[in-house]
């Protein structure tokens, strides 16, 4: 599993979008028992915090100590530095396993057998993520050009799995049809730019070039997005749910 996010862990915690409560309501209603959940690749604990409202205990793991240092604390959440492909958890320990915006970094041939081992029979695994945000007919082409043409060559190959909506990842579980969700916010241009600074492709671009690409993007967006003006931002949610049939 790659660690692309330790360097900007603080910005990640501040600007990365979360997931709607309706998603967790639906997901946790599919779970037979709410004793114990694991959020693998937890980052700053966004999903772990949500799961803590539904489960007696939540374990949350990540390979980045810096990410974990920014995680929100709750009494029933246990944070642990650990890779998803090899854990120290017991057989049949969890009622739910979530992986949010991280499955594309995993070694599937190692992770899935481990997931089946630590999940109880009949427990759920949920792969969650979000695609490229949408704003409006003027802003979207500008952002898409930046995403594909400017920082596009600097995305890791795994990013393609997000662009394909997680529909092309291996998923060796009997699948449950999940509803469609989106995460919506009212953001200023500065908030969007803060989020864009957390992109791994942006960080790779900075390392490879002597200039920052964001000022030019900001200049283009200022043609349709006034300073201080808030706009509705919508992130399409990627969501696959399966049941552990052992």
Task: Answer whether residue 233 is part of any domain.
Answer: yes
Exposed (0-12), middle (13-18) or buried (19+): which is 14, by Cβ within 10 Å?
middle
Q: At what angle do helices 189-196 and 214-221 cross, to 10 degrees?
A: 150
* The total number of structural domains that make up the chain: 1
- Phi/psi for 120 (5° steps) reads -70, 155
Please report whether residue 4 resides in a domain: no
Q: Taking a C-beta distance cutoff of 8 angstroms, is the pair 76, 56 a contact?
A: yes
61 lies in some domain: yes
Catalogue the E-assigned strands of 131-230.
175-176, 182-187
Name the pTM for this structure. 0.89
Q: What number of residues does the chain have?
A: 246
DSSP 216: H
Specify if 2 maps to a domain: no
The residue segments making up the domain with residue 114 are 9-243
In a domain, 1, yes or no: no
Question: Is the CB of residue 81 less than 8 Å from the CB of residue 109?
Answer: no
Residue 57 sits in a domain whose CATH number is: 3.40.50.150
Residue 3 lies in a domain: no
Rounded Cα distance, 142 and 145, in Å? 5
Residue 76 maps to a domain: yes
**pLDDT per residue of the chain (246 residues) written in tens, 0 to 9:** 544 444 444 544 577 789 999 999 999 999 999 999 999 999 999 999 999 999 999 999 999 998 899 899 999 999 999 999 999 999 999 999 999 999 999 999 999 999 999 999 999 999 999 999 999 999 999 999 999 999 999 999 999 999 999 999 999 999 999 999 999 999 999 999 999 999 999 999 999 998 999 999 999 999 999 999 999 999 999 999 999 997
Residue 79 covered by a domain: yes
């Amino acid at each position: 599993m790659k660690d692309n996010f330790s360097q900007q862990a603080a910005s990640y915690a501040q600007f990365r979008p979360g997931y709607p409560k309706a998603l967790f309501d639906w997901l946790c209603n599919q779970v037979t028992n709410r004793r114990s959940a694991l959020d693998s690749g937890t980052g700053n604990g966004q999903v772990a915090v949500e799961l803590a409202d539904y489960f007696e205990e939540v374990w949350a793991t990540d390979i980045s100590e810096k990410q974990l240092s920014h995680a929100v604390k709750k009494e029933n959440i246990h944070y642990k530095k650990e890779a998803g492909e090899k854990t120290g958890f017991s057989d049949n320990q969890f009622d739910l396993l979530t992986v949010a915006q991280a499955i594309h970094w995993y070694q599937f041939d190692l992770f899935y057998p481990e997931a089946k081992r630590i999940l109880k029979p009949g427990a759920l695994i949920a792969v969650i993520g979000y695609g490229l945000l949408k704003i409006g007919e003027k802003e979207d082409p500008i952002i898409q050009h930046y995403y594909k043409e400017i920082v596009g060559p600097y995305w890791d190959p795994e990013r393609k799995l997000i662009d394909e909506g997680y529909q092309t990842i291996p998923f060796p579980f009997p699948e449950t049809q999940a509803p469609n969700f989106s995460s919506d916010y009212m953001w200023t241009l500065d908030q969007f730019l803060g989020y864009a600074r957390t992109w791994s492709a942006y960080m790779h671009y900075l390392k490879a070039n002597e200039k920052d690409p964001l000022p030019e993007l900001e200049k283009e967006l200022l043609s349709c997005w006034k300073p201080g003006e808030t706009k509705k931002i919508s992130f399409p949610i990627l969501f696959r749910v399966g049941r552990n049939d052992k």
